[in-house]
A and B are shown apart, each in its own frame.
Chain A
Amino acid sequence: GAGVSQSPRYKVAKRGQDVALRCDPISGHVSLFWYQQALGQGPEFLTYFQNEAQLDKSGLPSDRFFAERPEGSVSTLKIQRTQQEDSAVYLCASSATSGRANEQFFGPGTRLTVL
């Protein structure tokens, strides 16, 4: 069956531009996570959705980062006024049930490069 998909796979932005990253989770999955993965590091939590509700956004690094999941399926991570330190791979993961004590299925990631 279809796994988690993300688009675009690669994004190059000039400093100061806004970007939008899309995540299509596995159909019917309740939980959706966004992570930021810097080169050579583990995924770092950004935010968590349970259906359409954003229950934890404690990992968003600044108010330039915004995420939404309006209908409880597709999610978008938006970064405004991108900075060079935003360059990373952004991973989306979904899980069949609520909470964080379950297998997470990851998407392929979006590699963002800010020039």
Chain B
Amino acid sequence: GENVEQHPSTLSVQEGDSAVIKCTYSDSASNYFPWYKQELGKRPQLIIDIRSNVGEKKDQRIAVTLNKTAKHFSLHITETQPEDSAVYFCASPDTGGFKTIFGAGTRLFVKA
């Protein structure tokens, strides 16, 4: 089955700096890679996703890159703001069934 590993577990940046979070996956047949943001006490919400037929996708200050050969994908947040502080989860479907496997999460702190 699919295995997803996420790094780092904690990331602290100064406001205005960039933040990068990386995930690796094991199932070479995986074809969908979402990123979810979860603020403290709130529900996870999708912020960006990418499918395996493209290598990069951008939406304003956030972008996701995918390297299928190396089986990893990364979340990039530029010009970070205090409201970006949250836990970010990557995910990947287990193509053997209907599971979605989530990473353990990265707690991002943006210092003003």
Contact = CB atoms under 8 A, between A and B. Distances in A.
Contacts, number: 61
Contacts of A100: 32, 93-94, 98-100
Interface stretch (A17-25, A80-88, A104-112): A104-112
A56 B99 contact: yes
Interface residues of B, number: 25
B44 interface: yes
Interface string A74-115: 000000000000000001000000011111111111000000
What bracket does the count of chain A residues touching chain B fall in?
20 to 34
A38 to B, nearest CB: 10
B43 to A, nearest CB: 4
Contact of B100 (A41, A104, A109): A104
A103 B98 contact: no
Contacts of B93: 99-101
A59 interface: yes
B102 A42 contact: yes
Nearest to A101: B32
Interface of B: 6, 31-32, 34, 36, 42-46, 49, 51, 89, 91, 93-94, 97-105
8 contacts: A42-B103, A42-B104, A48-B98, A100-B100, A104-B100, A106-B36, A106-B45, A109-B43
